[in-house]
Amino acid sequence: MLIRQKPAIRPSEITPESQYLDRRRFIRSASLAGSGLLFAAGCSGAGDEPPAPAPAPAAPNEAADLTPNSFADITSYNNFYEFGLDKGDPARYAGQFKSQPWTVTVDGEAENTGTFDFAAIVGPHTIEERIYRLRCVEAWSMVVPWNGIPLGDVLRRFKPTSRAKFVAFETVVRPAEMPGQRAGVLDFPYREGLTIAEAMHPLTLLATGLYGVDLPNQNGAPLRLIIPWKYGFKSIKSIVRISFTETRPRTTWSDAAPNEYGFYANVNPDVDHPRWSQARERRIGSGLFAAKQPTLPFNGYGDDVAGLYSGLNLVRNF
Ligand code: MTE
């Protein structure tokens, strides 16, 4: 973007990709798949409960290839500036980061506020599996089999008031464990925000894992957002604060370079970044000489989310 160890989980804990793909094929043939979303038992917190009813958002545009990237790609090519600027820094330096125990403070315009343990935040919800593409503003993308809970299901438990128009998020500040924070490469804490409608949208995921294991540190352990129709920088990692606000919250990248990174950050091939085109993207893992593929409006999720922005000029509100 702008500016200038040990593995977090043991290899034995990782579902081998072949087994993972077999499991997916099995789930499909057992007809548990619903309109592009799969619900998998056996993930942390899923217990023996039956799958939750599908929120039934449509699958992304047919042109969007949803073959997952390898676990190695997903966990070794990361943006997490708290651990450094290089894509390899998070995997290299996040091994000392402690993601348990974990608390999240919920404050602002809601009836139930306070500081909650990780388990209380996740609550009684069944952990789902969702295959989403993550399109980074830097014109690369990956497909990740995330595990998590719809953010809206979590937020509703805190009973936001009618004054809650936005939801703001903050990442943990722990310079002793995060070398990028010691180097001051950004104004930490990393901050992000969504409108309440975006936060409540059934596609918006509070992720707790990927490939069936808890989130590796470099991917934002233990809790991060995934908003699949927005550039990746909106998908804030290692969340410790959720605030319901009446006014639009500050966000890290809009503060750092407002002409380059907007609040909405909807994936839009027609609105170039001031320093590069957003029309195409490079799929990580497709090989150095592979052709770039066209970027889809809203990352292919337009049928589900374009309505959130009716009447809004998406060139000015980038
Ligand atoms: N969250 C925090 N706290 N710090 C970051 O630097 N980088 C963002 C986002 N969330 C970032 C963050 C960017 S630019 C991207 S593209 C995605 O995380 C990358 O997520 P990934 O590493 O899981 O691919």
- Residue 231 CA to ligand 1 center (angstroms) comes to 10
Atom of ligand 1 nearest to the CA of 218: 22
- Residue 78 CA to ligand 1 center (angstroms) comes to 7
Lowest mean pLDDT among 75-89, 167-181, 244-258, 286-300: 286-300
The gap between the terminal CA atoms of the chain, to the nearest Å, is 16
92-143 pLDDT, tens digit each: 999 999 999 999 999 999 999 999 999 999 999 999 999 999 999 999 999 9
Mutate which of 2, 71, 73, 80 for ligand 1? The one with the most ligand atoms within 8 Å of its CB, which is 80
Lowest mean pLDDT among 32-36, 77-81, 150-154: 32-36
pLDDT of residue 294: 96
The helix/strand/coil state of 290 is coil
- Residue with the smallest CA separation from ligand 1 atom 23 is 219
Q: What is the DSSP letter of 219?
A: G
- Residue 9 CA to ligand 1 center (angstroms) comes to 19
Atom of ligand 1 nearest to the CA of 238: 3
Return the beta strands (E) in the chain as ranges: 103-108, 114-117, 128-135, 140-150, 166-171, 191-195, 205-210, 213-214, 224-226, 239-245, 280-283, 293-294
Residue 65: pLDDT band with limits 50, 70, 90: confident
Mutate which of 79, 185, 223, 252 for ligand 1? The one with the most ligand atoms within 8 Å of its CB, which is 79
- Residue 167 CA to ligand 1 center (angstroms) comes to 18
- Residue 49 CA to ligand 1 center (angstroms) comes to 32
Mean pLDDT of 275-290: 93
Nearest partner of 27 among 17, 44, 40, judged by Cα: 40
Mean pLDDT of 161-178: 98
Which residue is listed with tokens 């804030």?
236
Residue 8: pLDDT band with limits 50, 70, 90: very low
Q: Assess whether pLDDT exceeds 70 at residue 44.
A: no
176-220 pLDDT, tens digit each: 999 999 999 899 999 999 999 999 999 999 999 999 999 999 999
- Residue with the smallest CA separation from ligand 1 atom 8 is 233
Burial 134-164 (b: 16+ CB within 10 A, else e): bbbbbbbbbbbbbbbbbbbbbbebbebeeeb
Q: Assess whether pLDDT exceeds 70 at residue 175.
A: yes
% of the chain at pLDDT higher than 90: 77
pLDDT of residue 20: 57
What kind of fold does domain 15-44+55-309 have according to CATH? Sulfite Oxidase; Chain A, domain 2 (3.90.420)
Domain residue ranges of the chain, discontinuous segments joined by +:
15-44+55-309
- Residue with the smallest CA separation from ligand 1 atom 11 is 80
pTM (predicted TM-score): 0.84
Q: Within 6 Å (CB) of ligand 1, which residues are found?
A: 1, 78-82, 134, 136, 171, 190, 219, 232-233, 235-238
Residue 289: pLDDT band with limits 50, 70, 90: confident
Nearest partner of 301 among 24, 117, 36, judged by Cα: 36
The CA-based angle 278-36-236, given to 5 degrees, is: 50
- Residue 304 CA to ligand 1 center (angstroms) comes to 24
Contact (CB, 8 A) for 138 and 110: no
